[in-house]
Amino acid sequence: MNELSRLRARKVGKPSATEQQPRRTEMHVRPTAPILPASNIQGNALMVVIAIMAFLACLTLGAVSMVRATAASWQSQISREITIQIKPEEGLDMDATLQKARELALTFVGTRSGTIMDDDATARLLEPWLGTGLDLSELPVPRLVIITIDEQNPPDFAAMRDLLASEVPQAFLDDHRTWVDRLVSMAHTTVLIGIGVLVLVFTAMILTVIFATRGALSGNRHIVEVLHFVGAERSFVATEFQKHFLKISLKGSAAGSALAALLFATANLWQSRSLATPESDQATALFGTFTIGFGGYLGIFATMIVIALLTTLTARFTVMRTIDEIDFIRSDPARSEGAPPS
């Protein structure tokens, strides 16, 4: 009955050192394994999916921020010059009107100087279309006043336009904004589309994780059952699954975002290496520079973290709900017909 007395000693919590001494050899146990088996094919597939999603999310994010930066730089660029165009009209004293428009424009703060394009200059401008040796006074050609402006402190274009309209009805003020505005609004649309893509990517990811979690739950149903029988609370089971998915999603999203970061870095490198070659200039004109900068890499890192968190939270939430369902079905004899008798 030696064993039983030892058990009794254990039961009452008395240190059983005297009986134990000869047996005190330390047993080696491996570091405690996670309750959910670490890897299986399903987990690997999920990891790849998360990596792809993270990659796409980072690419979209990078593209969006590049377009935004380009648009912002366009938007802030004020042309250094504006032009006032005077349309010829019957009985109009062109030279006087040009002079007047110039003076009116120069009354505004922020304008620097005004040049009236003289006949020669205008003729040169028109040469490609009309040929040489033409007499401008015979043609109804509009004339231009070029106003240089202070970029740091631009004049109020709207007020200038209003004043010109009332004083010199033949004048037309062109601040070259129209095409820039159009480009900028196009860029904004692109940004919106990018955000839409981002939302889609995230939604798809959440759905994938929900399916994966449910799959993992039914694949590990026997574990859930045993945990239930030994008195595990719902939150304990959820935490176990959450750990499992945190590992998978951290690995996946780290791989995906690292790939994206690498891509941006390579593009950047290529661009700076081939600076001033026609290909690179074209690319720059199209996409802006590929630099996403420190902030961009920080954004990629943030995306990775967000994805990992999102995955983990989704897993937890799904497990909580599914465990409730399982619990409910298990405890209800009317619904447990299909379940294995236990």
Partner 1 sequence: MIHFENVGLRYGMGPEILRDMTFDIPKRSFQFLTGPSGAGKTTLLRLMLMSLHPTRGLIHMFGRDLSQIPRTELPMLRRRVGIVFQDFRLLDHLTTYENVALPLRVRGKDEGAYRNDVIELLKWVGLGERINVLPPVLSGGEKQRAAIARALIDRPEILLADEPTGNVDPPMARRLLNLFLELNRLGTAVVIATHDLGLMDQVNARRMILTEGRLDIYE
Residues that bind partner 1 (CB under 8 A): 3-4, 6-8, 10-11, 23, 27-30, 32-33, 35, 37, 222-223, 225-234, 236, 327, 330-337, 341-342
Spatial distance between the Cα atoms of 116 and 143, rounded to a whole number of angstroms: 8
Torsion angles phi and psi, residue 83, rounded to 5 = -120, 145
Strands 171-174 and 111-116: unpaired
8 vs 80 by CB, closer to partner 1: 8
Q: In what order do the strands lie in the sheet with 81-86?
A: 111-116, 143-149, 81-86, 171-174
298 vs 339 by CB, closer to ligand ATP: 339
Give the contacts of 128 (CB within 8 A, at least 6 positions apart).
none
Least spacing, CB of residue 282 vs partner 1, in Å: 57
For ligand ATP, the binding residues (CB under 6 A) are: 336-337, 339, 341
Least spacing, CB of residue 335 vs ligand ATP, in Å: 9
Residue 320 class from Cβ within 10 Å (0-12 exposed, 13-18 middle, 19+ buried)?
A: middle
Q: Where are the beta strands (DSSP E) in 191-310?
A: none
174 vs 225 by CB, closer to ligand ATP: 225
| Residue closest to ligand ATP when measured from CB atoms | 341
36 vs 57 by CB, closer to partner 1: 36
Can you say how many angstroms the Cα of residue 320 is from the centroid of all Cα atoms in its chain? 31
Least spacing, CB of residue 261 vs partner 1, in Å: 35
CB atoms within 10 A of CB 292: 24
Least spacing, CB of residue 16 vs partner 1, in Å: 9
36 vs 149 by CB, closer to partner 1: 36
User: Collapsing DSSP states into helix, strand and coil, what is residue 69?
Assistant: helix
Taking CB within 5 to 8 Å according to partner kind, which of ligand ATP, partner 1, none is near residue 233? Answer: partner 1
Least spacing, CB of residue 243 vs partner 1, in Å: 13
Taking CB within 5 to 8 Å according to partner kind, which of partner 1, ligand ATP, none is near residue 109? Answer: none
Least spacing, CB of residue 340 vs ligand ATP, in Å: 7
278 vs 340 by CB, closer to ligand ATP: 340
User: What is the secondary structure of 80-108 as a DSSP string?
Assistant: SEEEEEE---TT--HHHHHHHHHHHHHTS
